[in-house]
Amino acid sequence: MTTATKTDDYLLRVEGITKKYGANTVLDKVSFDIGKSEVVGLLGDNGAGKSTLVKIMSGVVPMTSGKYSWDGKLQEHVNREVTEELGIETIFQDSALVPQMSISRNIFMGREITNRFGLMKVKKMDEIATRILDTVVTIEGIKSSKQLVASLSGGQAQAVAIARAVHFKRSLLILDEPTSALAVRATEALLNYLRQLKSEGVSSVLVTHNLHHAFEVCDRHIVMNHGEKILDVRREDTSVEELTAAVVEGAEGVRRFREGRPL
């Protein structure tokens, strides 16, 4: 029996992920690991393929080809039901909320608390949602979890999406540009939270444009460029400047940076 090497002790491993829309290749043979108790930053300019990668990791979009393994086991079919069971929750860039629905119904969408016949226990859902909004994510200025999401500001709606993912996550939290709509203080709080998660054994993937935020909080950084992974380094082996070069100029930028000839 071989001893488990560090490289086998991952939480999520993707190998050779390729995604094509017709003739358009959006992701080209992307491979990396997400370790246990790790915060990984997923960086790259617009159009690099980050959001598609997020959707594939969370099971919402199927990959064209590639392998998806979880905790040592290869997953044959990956869809949202599978990833939900694995304990993966995602905060999407567009918050994935239904505006004409109340906050509590949005939080429990697809996971409604029901009785034997499938009828929802609305009172219970409202109560739990209210408690989530008191303890986990506080939103100032709202009166009830029965309020419609359409009546919230962008930042408040994003906060609801965060509350939902935080409440249901068990093993991996993926955040796609979560701070874009948030104020400064809320952003700081959220980044702090990712550190806390680490200490509780929950990994997270942070997709962001803000390289300073990423550098502050992530143990490892993966940089994408035009659908390919061009950099995969630990924080102690890199710097914000190198990450910037990678994001702005791609692989070429990294090479030049390492040769001491940054832009």
Partner 1 sequence: MTSHYMKVKDMPDSNLGEERHVMTAPAPTEAVAKVRRLSDNQPTTFTARIKDNLQYIRGRGSLEISVILILVILGFAIASLANPSGFPFLSPNNLSGVISQNIPVLAILGIGTGILMIAGEFDLSLGAAIGFTAIAFIRISEAFGWGWGLIAGVGSGIVIALINGLIVIITKIPSFIATLGMGFFWTGASIFVNGTSPALLRKSKDDVLVALFAGDYGLFRSQFVWMIIVGILAWFFLHRHKLGNHIFAVGGNANAAKAISINPNKVKLMSFAIFGACVGFAAILISVRTSAMQPGSTADYTLIAVAAAVVGGTSLLGGRGAIIGMIVGAALIRIIENGLILAKAPGFYIQLFVGLIIVVAAIFNKLMEGKAS
Q: How far is the CB of 76 from partner 1 (least distance, A)?
A: 13
Whichever of 92 and 257 has its CB closer to partner 1, that residue is 92
Cα(76)–Cα(72) distance, integer angstroms? 13
Single out the residue of 61, 34, 38, 67 nearest to residue 49, CA to CA: 61
Whichever of 156 and 238 has its CB closer to partner 1, that residue is 156
Whichever of 48 and 160 has its CB closer to partner 1, that residue is 160
Question: Both tokens of residue 53?
Answer: 């990668």
- Binding status of residue 37 toward partner 1 by CB under 8 A: no
Please report the DSSP string for 159-184 in residue order: HHHHHHHHHH-SSEEEEESTTTTS-H
- Binding status of residue 105 toward partner 1 by CB under 8 A: yes
- Binding status of residue 110 toward partner 1 by CB under 8 A: yes
Site residues for partner 1, 127-186, by CB under 8 A, read 128, 130-148, 150-151, 153, 155-156, 158-159, 162-163, 166-168, 182-183, 185-186
Site residues for partner 1, 42-61, by CB under 8 A, read 58-60
Distances (CA, A) of 80 to 37, 76, 87, 110: 22, 13, 11, 11
Q: Total binding residues for partner 1 by CB under 8 A?
A: 72
Among 16, 72, 99, 262, binds partner 1 (CB under 8 A): 99
Dihedrals phi, psi of 39, to nearest 5 degrees: -110, 115
Site residues for partner 1, 182-211, by CB under 8 A, read 182-183, 185-186, 189-190, 193, 196
